[in-house]
Amino acid sequence: MTAKTDKRLFDQVPDAQGRFGEYGGKFVAETLMSALKELEELYYRLKDDPEFQRELDEDLSDYVGRPSPLYEARRLSDEVGGARIYLKREDLNHTGAHKVNNTVGQALLAKHMGKKRVIAETGAGQHGVATATIAARLGLECEVFMGEEDVRRQALNVYRMKLLGATVVPVTSGSRTLKDAMNEAMRDWVTHVDDTFYIIGTVAGPHPYPLLVRDFQCVIGREARAQCLQKTGRLPDALVACVGGGSNAIGLFHPFLADDSVAMYGVEAGGHGVATGEHAAPLNAGSPGVLHGNRTYLMQDEAGQIRETHSISAGLDYPGVGPEHAWLKDIGRVNYVAANDDEALAAFHRLTRVEGIMPALESSHAVAYACELAAGMTPEETIIVNLSGRGDKDIHTVAELDGIEF
């Protein structure tokens, strides 16, 4: 992108049909169409309502603990020997990840709709924990759908959700991971559509979810932009964030999209390597299709069946990606790359040892790529990495890989 991009290009999506170019839309069963329309109308009415914004801002500051710091990782930057690396500390939010920015927003919408029950799908458990947390605070009934495989991998978060009063439903269909949890949440929503609000955790799903989750997560990028200008006197040269469904990435990227000088890198889960086929990198190695309510890039076989994915991190173990990312890939605004399991694991250890910050395995993918990127840049340049979550939940996984038993 050489010419100055018209900011309006990025504000025009999604259109009235919920489309980002040829992606997005509303591909759901008829039973849900009215609920989506109701949510859409409510959201368009509230999003510019000063009273709603005041409520949201108050939750974000007093409950979530925003703004999150922009931290210069000096020792890491020195060790890498290139661009200066800044970490956007979403790991310091209440509940330990960026997910809560969105759940407080959607819970406010649920409250305005008078819904008494919320449901959510979760992979790593961070979105489930964030949903259970806000449900506890608002006194809402909460059920979280989680693949049986993830229940095993993320036992700590499962117990956290139970402590918060939520019911965790292990999902035993299909590949027993995040995509199957989302199927099951959809089935529950169809059955309880009158009294239940479905809090989707990522920028995927049918319109208006990709829009409203993006809007709620954009607080990350708005803060980072102001903090970077204040600390360095200029915009960053590059942004790096991990991409599963893509909510932390879109939250960081979106407020910078019209800043042509800012390069952007979305890091997908390379698993055992993109060439092996065992990964969760649809933007790197997938093709367009329809899943979970939207048209987007998917990992699918030659018969249009959704393929099983692999990633060391449960939160990235998803065969699709938000439709806005699909569009940003096609127009060339964001570069989508991949980091493998072992690279993410090495970055987990590195950041922990060099900065005393233990990143989530999801965020470790972004750290891994940022280090590689920084090494080829100059010390006058800066990179902002979205440190989307903290790694406490992954200690068991890491210990298991290191052969340590508790």
Partner 1 sequence: MSRIDDRLGQLAEQGRKALITYVVAGDPGVDETVDLLHALVAAGVDVLELGVPFSDPMAEGPVIQLGHERALANGITLSRVLDIVATFRREDQDTPLLLMGYANPVAYMGYAEFADAASRAGVDALLTVDIPPEEAQPVTQQLQRVGMNTIFLVAPTTPDERIAAIAEQASGFIYCVSLKGVTGAGHLDIQSVKTLVGRIKQASALPVAVGFGIRDGASARAIATAADGVVVGSALIDVVTRTLAEGGSWPQARSAAVQLIEEIRSGLD
Return residues touching partner 1 (CB under 8 A).
Answer: 17, 25-35, 173-174, 179-180, 183, 186-187, 190-194, 289-293, 295, 298, 300, 303-306
CA distances to 122, 137, 186, 229, 312 from 166, in Å:
13, 12, 18, 41, 26
Q: C-beta of 201: minimal distance to partner 1 in Å?
A: 17
Q: Residue 341 is which amino acid?
A: D
Q: C-beta of 394: minimal distance to partner 1 in Å?
A: 27
Q: C-beta of 27: minimal distance to partner 1 in Å?
A: 5
* Phi, psi (deg, nearest 5) at residue 167: -100, 125
Comparing CB distances to partner 1, the nearer of 157 and 175 is 175
Q: Residue 78 is which amino acid?
A: D
Distance CA 193, CA 38 (A): 11
Distance CA 203, CA 222 (A): 17
Q: Using the 8-state DSSP alphabet, how is residue 69 labeled?
A: P
Comparing CB distances to partner 1, the nearer of 190 and 235 is 190
Q: Report whether 382 contacts 236 (CB < 8 A).
A: yes
Half-sphere exposure of 245 (CA within 13 A, CB side): 30
Comparing CB distances to partner 1, the nearer of 156 and 193 is 193
Output the CA torsion 267→272→278→283 (10° steps): 20
Q: C-beta of 241: minimal distance to partner 1 in Å?
A: 26
Q: C-beta of 295: minimal distance to partner 1 in Å?
A: 8
Comparing CB distances to partner 1, the nearer of 104 and 186 is 186
Beginning with the edge strand found earlier in the chain, give each strand of the sheet holding 70-72 in spatial order.
70-72, 84-89, 382-387, 238-242, 263-271, 335-340
Active site residues: 99, 121, 388
Distance CA 39, CA 111 (A): 12
3-state DSSP call for residue 293?
strand
Comparing CB distances to partner 1, the nearer of 286 and 391 is 286
